[in-house]
Amino acid sequence: MAHPLVDLARKAIEAYLKYGKIIKPSKEDLKEPIMRERKGVFVSLKKHGELRGCIGTFLPTANSVAEEVIRNAIASATEDPRFPPVTLEELKDITISVDVLDEPEPVSSLDELDPKKYGVIVESGWKRGLLLPDLEGVDTIEQQIAIAMAKAGIRPGEPIKIYRFKVKRFK
């Protein structure tokens, strides 16, 4: 049985793909306390174990986690530039996870990081890259930072600020 956040993400994608409609959270959805919080949310889509879309916000942009999930689920399915839009036919083969992010905090030393426990945000000027925690194949702090830098287009040697955050992951 999927968590209500994951069910909401799937309902949002399905309604958008079928009808071009952006759903609103129902009263039933909002009974779940986490749905009413204001936090950043990432929605990740995988098909047969391979990434198929991942879009999110590290700070809240909507009035609730429920609204954030709806927006980011649709964006993951239709706007991730790395992939073609998800089709209704393939939705049945897609697994969804929802990460609800705690507020990022600056770190002053790499000793404060752990790729299994914390996600990272790296910043250099206006460039910013984020990597969620506990990702398959990302086992070291150095890998995590290098991937986040590459996502942001930050070259090795550029000065960076690093932030860490925890997530609650729902499947």
The predicted structure's pLDDT at residue 166: 97
pLDDT of residue 52: 97
**Dihedral of the alpha carbons of 35, 41, 47, 48, in degrees to the nearest 10:** -90
The pLDDT of residue 158 is: 95
Residue pair 34/101 in contact (Cβ under 8 Å)? The answer is no
Q: How many CB atoms lie within 10 A of CB 112?
A: 13
User: Mean pLDDT for each 10-residue chunk of the chain (171 residues)?
Assistant: 94 98 95 96 97 96 97 98 97 97 96 98 97 96 97 95 98 94
pLDDT at residue 1, as a whole number: 77
3-state secondary structure of 25: coil
Beta bridge partners of residue 122, listed in sequence order:
129, 162
Domains and CATH numbers, the chain: 4-101 (3.30.700.20), 105-170 (3.30.1490.150)
Query: What is the per-residue pLDDT for 123?
Result: 97
